[in-house]
């Protein structure tokens, strides 16, 4: 009987794949809330205005910044998977995964600065 090892979980590429999956789950959880907010516009201008006033809260701005980060991480993770599936393997995939996280962080910071 083979013993189960988790040594592969220390790999940067395994972590990148897990972040991609988790960001996808987080975005899937966000979508119903997004549709609910859009539905407020159908229900009436007053409800939408109250919701938009609530979004000025600093905690909401932080949540939006996190959302931008997750969207960017998920997008770049998806591009990385597409490249892995279509191009031959090359060294440097760990650096590309790290660059994707850095790009996501920069996008989130740019959003936060603009939203503040």
Give the pLDDT score at 4. Answer: 66
Q: What is the pLDDT of residue 3?
A: 58
Torsion of CA 79, 80, 83, 84, to 10 degrees: -150
pLDDT in tens for each of the 116 residues of the chain? Answer: 555 667 666 777 788 888 888 888 988 988 888 888 888 888 888 888 888 898 889 998 888 888 888 888 888 888 878 877 787 777 777 787 788 888 888 988 888 888 76
Closest by CA to 21, choosing from 13, 32, 11, is 13
- In angstroms, rounded to a whole number, what is the distance separating the alpha carbons of residues 113 and 105? 12
CATH code of domain 10-115: 1.20.1300.10
Give the separation between CA 2 and CA 62, rounded to whole angstroms: 46
Residue with tokens 């999956």: 21
């Amino acid at each position: 009987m083979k013993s189960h090892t988790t040594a592969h979980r220390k790999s940067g590429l395994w972590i990148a794949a897990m972040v991609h999956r988790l960001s996808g789950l987080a975005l899937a959880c966000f979508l119903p809330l997004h549709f609910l907010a859009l539905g407020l516009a159908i229900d009436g201008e007053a409800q939408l205005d109250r919701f938009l006033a609530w979004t000025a809260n600093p905690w909401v701005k932080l949540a939006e910044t996190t959302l931008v980060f997750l969207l960017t991480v998920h997008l770049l993770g998806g591009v990385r998977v597409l490249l892995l599936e279509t191009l031959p393997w090359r060294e440097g995939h760990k650096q590309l995964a790290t660059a994707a996280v850095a790009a996501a962080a920069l996008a989130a910071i740019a959003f936060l600065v603009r939203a503040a």
